[in-house]
Amino acid sequence: MIKFNQVYKRYPGGHEALKNLSFDVAEGEMVYLTGHSGAGKSTLLKLIAAIERPSSGGVLVKGQNIRSIKPAAIPHLRRNIGLIFQDHKLLFDRNAFDNVMLPLQICGFDHRESAKRVRAALDKVGLLDREKANPVALSGGEQQRLCIARAIVNRPTILLADEPTGNLDTEYSNEIMNIFKSFHQVGVTLLISTHDESILRQFPARALHLKKGELQT
């Protein structure tokens, strides 16, 4: 599903964020990405979503090479990838329902069909009763769950989560990890970056450990 082959990422100025990365993530697999902040976790996720391109090496996502992907093909790639951001990236000019509606509008879904899907996604993350609320009025954990609802509403095959439990206490973290676990059970490929060791113990899965841009084995 995801294949990295000797990937390097250098930023202008010479900073080398990723060095010689090679790994595979199989379809339906759940994989953790661990390491300190600055180890290159976010950069790695950005490469998969074609937000950044590798400086050298091959990144294959669902058979598409990110290094040579045409700009016009990027939107269609991203529709298959649910992105969950640490800073949520919610839009505060609309309510929770409309935030989750956005990916379906982008894909051009029929309004009634999308309304059903939006409610299903909100139900999944336990926010069905908050659909009219503005994201500003939601707590940190609720905002994170809303972000998850938006990422899954058009049923992507890959979910990328960047520090989804970053600022949350244990109770909220577990809630969110349980949601991820349920996606894993229905066959979604998951890549979750975290620096929270307790999560790894409680929800064990393969972990890729990054240190200064290099994969530790």
Partner 1 sequence: MRTLNEHLRVLRFTLRHMLLTPNASLLNILIIGIALSLPVGGYVLLKSAQTLGSQIAGTPQVSVFLASGTSASEIDHIGEKLRQHAGIKRIEFVSRDAALKKLQQSTGLADVVAGLAQNPLPDAFVIYPKGGDAAALETLRDELRTWQHFEHVQLDSAWVHKLEALLDFGRMAVAILAALLSFALIAITFNTIRLQILTRREEIEVAKLIGATDSFIRRPFLYFGLTQGLLGGIAAWLLVAASLQLLNHQIGALTQLYASDFSLQHLSPVDSITLLGFSAYLGWLGAWFSVSQHLWQIEPR
> Coil, strand or helix: which one is 154?
coil
Are 194 and 40 in contact by the 8 Å Cβ rule? The answer is no
Single residue of 49, 149, 190, 199 touching partner 1 by CB under 8 A: 49
Region binding partner 1 by CB under 8 A among candidate stretches 59-67, 83-91, 129-137, 185-193 = 83-91
Region binding partner 1 by CB under 8 A among candidate stretches 26-34, 108-116, 163-171, 192-200 = 108-116
Does 78 engage in binding with partner 1 (CB under 8 A)?
yes
Single residue of 93, 129, 171, 197 touching partner 1 by CB under 8 A: 93
Are 12 and 52 in contact by the 8 Å Cβ rule? The answer is no
Single residue of 57, 103, 166, 213 touching partner 1 by CB under 8 A: 103
Contacts of residue 214, defined as CB under 8 A and 6 or more positions apart, other chains included, come to 19, 20, 21
Scanning residues 55 to 74, which ones bind partner 1 (CB under 8 A)? 72
Amino acid found at 9: K
Single residue of 75, 140, 187, 204 touching partner 1 by CB under 8 A: 75
Does 91 engage in binding with partner 1 (CB under 8 A)?
yes
The answer for 62, left when phi > 0, alpha when psi is -120 to 50, beta otherwise, is: left
Scanning residues 18 to 37, which ones bind partner 1 (CB under 8 A)? none
Nearer to partner 1, 47 or 90 (CB): 90
Q: Tokens for 64, please give them.
A: 């598409």
Single residue of 102, 115, 205, 207 touching partner 1 by CB under 8 A: 102
Q: What's phi and psi for 27, nearest 5 deg?
A: -65, 130
Does 76 engage in binding with partner 1 (CB under 8 A)?
yes
Q: Tell me which residue of 90, 66, 169, 92 sits closest to 103, measured CA to CA.
A: 90
Nearer to partner 1, 94 or 119 (CB): 94
β-pair partners for 189: 158
Burial 105-118 (b: 16+ CB within 10 A, else e): eeeebeeeebeebb
Does 83 engage in binding with partner 1 (CB under 8 A)?
yes
Does 107 engage in binding with partner 1 (CB under 8 A)?
yes
Q: How many residues touch partner 1 (CB under 8 A)? A: 23
- Environment class of 19 (CB within 10 Å of its CB; exposed 0-12, middle 13-18, buried 19+): middle
Smallest separation, CB 204 to partner 1 (Å): 30
Q: Which residues bind partner 1 (CB under 8 A)?
A: 49, 51, 72, 75-79, 83, 89-91, 93, 102-103, 105-108, 110-111, 150-151
